[in-house]
Amino acid sequence: MSGAVTGAPEATAPPAPSAPARRRRRARIPTPVLLVAPSVVFLAALFLWPIVVGVAQAFTDQDGATLAHLRRMVDDPYFWDAARNTALLIVVLIPLQFGFALTMALLLRERPKLSSFYFYVWCVPLAISDLAAGLVWLAIFADRGYLNSLLARLGLGDGYAWLSYDNQSTMFVAVLLAELWRATSLVLVIVVAGLQNVPRDYDEAAAVFGATYWQRLRYVILPQLRPSLQVALILRTILGLQTFAVAQALTGRSFPLLVGETYQWYVTLQNEGVAAAIALVILLMSIGTAIVYLRVLRDPAAGGLR
């Protein structure tokens, strides 16, 4: 009897994808690119495009490319006074702000009674606008302000013209105090947040081995605060270069600053080209100081910016 032997069916390979399907698979945009794309578009719209427009305004006029706006900016005596005052404000203000903020943050780290209350009180100026802060300090330093009234009550004179054009030093002190009061809270918040990431075990171990408080601060706490201090330095320096409303409320143009001169040329003098040129100077100063901070405060172990 003859029988047919049937074997297992042979496995068949899946059909090869067609050419259009292969092209669609190759052309698929990676997911990370899709996630990053909105941020790139947002930054380009709010940062790159204004820079392009500003450069075009600074170096062109109705006749084409020109350096007339730069020459007019350099020939303006107010520009050099504003550049000097802005640089002096940054040099004096930033160390004071960081000294006060670091001191207050270290006090809060020790958890004294009512520490949360102190923190909220110290952060109140953060909720006040620049112009409002300037008006508050104008009420103090005006000719009939609170400071002169107090001096008169104490029999120390009939008053002093703190904000007079002839008293550049007292105008600088008034703007400095107003900015110090208004903006130190920003540095405080960043430093307090950074201290939350500093383990107390390191500090306690250093104390066990006989390190003094200043040695622990220098060799244990501050090195671990480097990233927070780096961020705070860059932010405060850039915002310090943009100081305007406080000085405008206190002194007007008697104590010129770079952003104030940008406002004067754009709004009062109706010259967009010179205003854009001064704005580019502020931008270059901001980028330059940020690069310096990144290099000086880079972590040697991590390599940092080269």
Mean pLDDT, range 139-155, rounded to an integer: 89
**Within a domain: 270:** yes
Note down the domain range covering 133.
67-296
Is 18 part of a structural domain of the chain? no
- Whether 208 is in a domain gets the answer yes
Rounded to 5 degrees, φ, ψ at 162 are -65, -35
Residue 304 within any structural domain of the chain: no
Q: Does 16 have pLDDT greater than 90?
A: no
Return the pLDDT at 1. 44
pLDDT of 4 > 80? The answer is no
**Res 30 pLDDT > 90:** no
pLDDT above 70 coverage of the chain, percent: 89
The answer to whether residue 160 is domain-embedded is yes
C-alpha torsion 169→172→177→179, nearest 10: -170
What CA–CA distance (Å, rounded) separates 232 from 224? 14
Domain total in the chain:
1
- Which CATH number belongs to the domain containing residue 78 in this structure? 1.10.3720.10
- The residue ranking higher by pLDDT, 206 or 27, is 206
Q: What is the rounded CA–CA span in Å between residue 184 and residue 247?
A: 16
Contact 159, 148 (CB under 8 A): yes
Mean pLDDT of the chain: 85
Q: Is residue 10, in this structure, part of any structural domain at all?
A: no
DSSP state of 64: E
Note the pLDDT tens digit of each residue in 265-274.
999 988 999 9
Is 244 domain-assigned? yes
Residue 45 lies in a domain: no
Q: How confident is the model at residue 50 (pLDDT cuts 50, 70, 90)?
A: confident
Per the CB < 8 A criterion, the answer to whether 97 and 184 are in contact is yes
- pLDDT category, 305, cuts 50, 70, 90? very low
Residue range 24-51: mean pLDDT, rounded? 82
pLDDT tens readout for residues 60-91: 888 888 899 999 999 998 999 999 999 999 99
Judged by average pLDDT, the poorest of 16-30, 66-80, 99-113, 256-270 is: 16-30
**Dihedrals phi, psi of 58, to nearest 5 degrees:** -75, -30
Amino acid at 151: L
